[in-house]
Structure 1
Amino acid sequence: MKEVLIVGKGKSGLAAGRLLERKGYSVIYYDDREKTFIPENPVLVVKSPGVPSTHPIVQLFRNRGIEVIGEVEIAGRYLKGRVIGITGTNGKSTTTALVYHVLKKVWNGKVFIGGNYGIPVSDFAAETDDESISVLELSSYQIEDLKNFKCNISAVLNVTPDHLNRYRCFEEYLRAKLKLVNHTEDRIVVNRDDPSLSHLCKLKKSLTFSMKSKSADIFYSGGEVFFKNFSFDSSEFPIKGYHNIQNIMASILILASAGIDPAKAVDAMNDFKGLEHRLEHVRTLNGIVFINDSKSTNVDSLEKALLSFREVILIAGGKDKGIDFSPIKSLMKERVKKAFFIGETGKKLEKLFSDVTDAEFKSSLEEAVTSAYKSARSGDVILFSPGCSSFDMFKNFEERGKIFKQIVEELK
């Protein structure tokens, strides 16, 4: 029996192993935390997204001339039907969920969702058929391992500095994201407002969305979204915020490219409630609004959150990924009444922003929430938008957000 080595025993690696076993392969798993037998000459090596290309096991087999691919790549070899790939530094989960939500309501065939969005592609690839549509959220880690994988439609929502603890510079991170364009056959949806993506807007197969330019294929102006001879009031949607208007516009272009009538798509979006930990309203207590934006893991997502509110008391900070926060100093001065910083970056952020707002470092999330509540007045928004990853204090952003909500719910 042909042997395949899976490097990494996270959910993506295990899903790839299950798929390959169903296809008749003998699967061996390697994980740094365990002592594992390593085969001499596997027919294929599949690495989990979290395993960097510089890993010694990956390098070992590449030097031997053995093919090394990622989990999405191997799953793609068994995908049927149409594939939509969505990437971006921010907004990709909401856009992926929104497109899936609409397709589930208006498409007659099977619809699947996965990738970086919870479910590895390998878990459903074998269930797809010629009429199905797979909506995939794809991270830079997943895209950098693509080889022959193809999307019919892709979207690049934005690319701003992130994951600089894995990539040597922003340009390397950008290249990883934009590799998806080379794996797209029919249509690319692009953010016209992102200067890093300006060259993509000139491609014949591109459709663009914009908050600023009326020359985009879909654009926002005066509270309305305009697309061809169709327009609608963005304030009617249950999901709020500057960034969600962008996500809605991108979703409409993706769905239109898939043959879905824009009016039907907008109608189907009206009961989409948004995702947990994305500008999620937790509670209003004594006129003070608590917002959980724990998914905010970089400065761009923090900026979008601040653009969505005024009279903000901010709680931010977390693991240091080497990102520069100074570009949002003016916005902090304009929107933030007081800021409480936590985690590995807490003291650095306190020092950076102390000249534009009242800033304090707190040793725990609970202390920050309690202090924010004590300093707030009716009409204020206590915004938990860390702008950093969670791994210095929490298992992941979901755990971080749940703990924030628990602390808020216990306030008297």
Structure 2
Amino acid sequence: MTDKSKIVVLGAGESGVGAAFLAQQQGYDVFVSDFGAIADHYKQQLIDWNIRFEEKQHTEEEILTAIEVIKSPGIPEKAPIIKKTKEKGIPVISEIEFAGRYTEAKIIGITGSNGKTTTTSLTYHILKDAGLNVGLAGNIGKSFAYQVATEKFDLYVLELSSFMLDDMYRFKVDIAILLNITPDHLDRYDYKMENYAASKFRITQNQTNNDYFIYCADDPETIKVMAGRRIEAQLLPFSIEKKIEPGAYLEQDNIVINTHKQNFQMSITDLALQGKHNIYNSMASGIAAKVLELRNPSIRDSMSNFKNIEHRLESVGKISGISFINDSKATNVNSTWYALESMTTDVILILGGVDKGNDYSMLKDLVKQKVRAIVCLGKDNKRIHDAFEDVVEVIVNTYSAEEAVQVSYHLAKKGDTVLLSPACASFDLFKNYEDRGNQFKQAVREL
């Protein structure tokens, strides 16, 4: 028997706790259940708000009487409690889907295998600098649901992972940005690229011809999927390989954006974010800004003074002429490819962690050109050794950030860069990629 007023939230992280607060505000009886331990500050919030919760278990009698279940993006479809919930016919949705019901704000949604946090942060920075009343949420910042409950923004910039998109059904994005599709999280998609790509394209569902779809015309997977489906939204592609109108392209060293009577140009040398991948990110953000008809001087200023997010190609400093860069957020091979592609010195590369079925072959050419030694940071480094032993003479195993930094420092020469860009998840030795990045930075400071 379902309770018509009861909503269950599975997972008590940022998104779950925010969803619980919004559900309570909307008059629902709310129960929060987390199979793991709940962090103290989230537990305190639930206590303060008088929301019932449990941790380290899922009580089925409680969960299976809900009218709806709001699921944390980290919980896979194959989890027993999700299977049982769906068998009972109880809808399972994301925090984003739920929160979207209670806001009239315009939504810019950004997804892609790589660059989405940078592009989301840059887009938000451009809009906020232009004086718009804008919120930042999704995979970044404060929970979307909590902001919907407590703020009155006219516009949100949302970073949307494929896991979030999987549990979104009626939610509509006014301006959708798809940066790229490269192999990632394939363990969640039956190791089928087409399943993962279809998940990314859910960002276009429910769009009408009054909406916009901004995408990379140079990304083969994106183009492949588009050939087989109808997109209702107005298309605004971007490319650094060919001239595109309407959309964005590179002319000599200038980004050129043309969107229905809106024109913009900016030299790539003036961009705060350097590297080929960041030209793409800047184009995507720039198109969104021009769709909103922001003034060119304001966009230029924002694109030139933007500070990148922590743990993404973050400069930690120089010691004895050796540069240290923290790119701990690079949890897949493609992110590491982008990091290496932007390096202009010889590199000591720190790789490793929880391997999600990585194909390291795409890194081989860059590693051959730029990497003098690989320092593995993970419990099981066999696949890294197998992939690179014929390309790099020195491959060393380490089991802590401190050890990895010290070994890298001794292997590096003056003028080299020590780059932490692991291409793997961090859960074998660290709490998360932030913890890995912070430990790396601390170890650099202690040299």
TM-score bin (small chain): over 0.9
Inter-partner Cα distance in structure 1 for 2:405 and 2:277: 25
For 1:65 and 1:371, locate their aligned partners in 2 and report how far apart those are by CA, in whole Å. Answer: 54
Q: Give, in whole Å, the separation in 2 of the partners of 1:231 and 1:31.
A: 49
Quote the Cα distance in structure 1 between the aligned partners of 2:130 and 2:347: 39
1:196 counterpart residue number: 221
Matched, 1:100 2:124: yes
Any idea what SS the aligned residue of 1:212 has? coil
TM-score (structure 2 length as normaliser): 0.87
Change (3 A) 1:2 1:141: same
Partner of 1:75: 99
Conserved? CA contact 1:159–1:196, under 8 Å: yes
Give the whole-Å Cα distance in 2 for the aligned partners of 1:87 and 1:380.
33
2:238 is matched with which residue? 209
Report if aligned partners of 2:238, 2:244 keep a CA contact under 8 Å in 1: no
The reply to whether residue 121 of structure 1 matches residue 144 of structure 2 is: yes
Q: What does 1:96-245 align with in structure 2 at a 5 Å threshold?
A: 96-108=120-132, 110-127=133-150, 129=152, 132-169=154-191, 170-185=193-208, 186-198=211-223, 199-200=225-226, 205-215=234-244, 217-228=247-258, 230-245=264-279
For 2:285, the equivalent position in structure 1 comes to 251
Name the CA distance, whole Å, in 1 between partners of 2:226 and 2:135.
27
Identical pairs, percent = 40
Cα deviation digits, residues 290-333 of structure 1 (max 9, x gap):
11111101010000001101311211111111111112211211
In structure 2, relative to structure 1, the CA distance for the partners of 1:91 and 1:40 (3 Å cut) is: closer
Give 1:15-30 correspondences, 5 Å limit.
15-30=18-33
Matches of 1:322 and 1:385 in 2, distance apart? 17
Instruction: Tell me by how many angstroms 1:59 deviates.
Output: 2.4
SS of 2:324's partner is strand
Extract unaligned runs of 5+ from structure 2: 36-55
Contact 2:350 2:376 in 1 (8 A): yes
Equivalent-residue separation in structure 2 for 1:345 and 1:334 (angstroms): 26
Contact 1:212 1:221 in 2 (8 A): no
CA-based RMSD of the aligned residues comes to 2.0
1:309 corresponds to? 343
Task: Please identify, of 360-369 and 274-283, the stretch whose mean Cα deviation from structure 2 is larger.
Answer: 360-369
Q: 1:402 aligns with which of 413, 416, 438?
A: 438
Aligned length: 409
CA contact (8 A) 1:390 1:396 kept: yes
Given candidates 354, 357, 372, the residue that maps to 1:337 is: 372
Secondary structure at the counterpart of residue 166 of structure 1: helix
Cα distance 1:359–1:183, how it changes in 2: closer, same or farther (>3 A)? farther
Displacement of 1:54 in angstroms is 2.5
CA–CA distance in 2 between the matches of 1:221 and 1:313? 34
SS at match of 1:172: helix
Tell me how far apart the structure 1 counterparts of residues 8 and 435 of structure 2 sit (CA, whole Å): 31
Contact 2:10/2:70 (CA < 8 Å) preserved in 1? yes
Verify the 8 A CA contact 2:166 2:199 in the aligned structure 1.
Answer: yes
